[in-house]
Copies of this chain bind each other. A is one copy, B any other.
Amino acid sequence: MNYTITLNPAIDRLIFLDEKMENRKTNRITDVAYDIGGKGTHGSYAMTKLNVKNKALGFMGGLNSDKFQRILETKGISNGFTTVKGQATRECYVVIDRDSTGTTMLTEKGLKVSRNDVDTFQTNLKKIVNYGDFVLIAGSLPVGFFLEDLKKMIKILKETGCFVACDLSGDALKLATEVGVDFIKPNEFEIRELNDKEEELIPFLKKLNKKISYIVVSLGQEGSYCIHDGEVYRVKSPFVKEVNDTGAGDCFVGAFLAGIIMKQTIEETLRLASACAASKVMHNDSSTFNLNEVERLIHQVEISKY
C-alpha cells in the first residue's frame, strides 16, 4: 500500500465573495464550502483520482473528528488518522472572490500532540508499512512533534525499504535533505536556504541528486525544474484561468508520485503532475481537479532538458 502522512491536517473553510475583500467594510459572503486541508491529504486525493490506491495517515483532533471524517469521505480519501483526544483539527480559511485576484489564506496553528500520541503513531506506522511502499510526508509539524520525531519516522520508513517523498519546508526540509530521502519539492527560496554555501545552482542540484533521486524545484505559475538521474528538466505549466491556486503544489506532488508508482517515464510523470496542478487551479476548492481537463492540458505542458 502507499501512504500519505499529514501530521497537521486542516479543515479548509472556503469563503466565497462576489467582490474583492476590503478592510473596514462588511464583506458579504455568497457561499461557504469545506475541503480537506494539509498537504498530504491533497496528495492522497490526487493519487486516488488517478487510480493509485493509498491511505492517508497523520493526526486528527478528537473534538471535530466527525466533521473531518465526513469531508475525507466526501472526497473519497481512504484513511487511518490517529486521534488526538481533547484537541481539534485546525481550521484554515481561504477567502476567494469572484474576480479571483488571488486567494487569501488564513491558517490556524493546529493541534498539540503528546509523547504518547507520537509513540502510538510511530508504532502503528512501523507495523503497517512494507518494503516498496511509497510514503509521502507533507505539510507542517504539529506542536509537540519534534524534528527528532521526524528523523525517527524517516528512519523507520527507510529501514523498511519505502520510497520516502517529503513535501516539507524550513528545518524539516533541511533534515529530510540531510538524512536523505527519495523526493523533495523545495521552492526557489527554500533551495537557496539549502544551498548555504552559495554554490552555483545547477551543479548544486546535480550533487544533491546523487543523494535524493527526485528533486522538484517549484516556481509557482512559472512551472518547475526537476532533477532526476543527473538530468535537469524545465517544466512550463499550461496557461489556465486561475480560480483558486490553493493546493496546486500538493496536487502536483500527489500526481507526480502516482506517475512514478504507475512506472511512467519521468517526462510522462512531469506532464501528468503539471496538467493535474493546472486543472486544480481552475477549481474553487483546495483539491479538486478534472480528468478530462487533465487529458487536454497534458499536451500543453512544455518540457525541455536543461
Contact = CB atoms under 8 A, between A and B. Distances in A.
Interface residues of A, number: 24
A166 B199 CA distance: 70
Secondary structure class of chain A's binding surface, majority of residues: strand
A24 interface: yes
B29 A105 contact: no
Given A15-B93, A93-B15, A107 B23 contact: no
A121 to B, nearest CB: 24
A22 B109 CA distance: 17
B23 A106 contact: no
A26 interface: yes
A70 to B, nearest CB: 14
A277 interface: no
A15 B13 CA distance: 13
A21 interface: yes
A25 interface: yes
A264 B32 CA distance: 45
Contact of A24 (B15, B26, B29, B104): B104
A105 B27 contact: yes
Given A25-B105, A27-B104, A93-B93, 16 more contacts: A21-B104, A21-B106, A22-B104, A23-B102, A24-B102, A24-B104, A26-B105, A27-B105, A27-B106, A27-B107, A28-B107, A28-B109, A29-B106, A30-B109, A32-B108, A95-B106
6 contacts: A24-B103, A25-B104, A27-B104, A29-B107, A30-B109, A32-B108
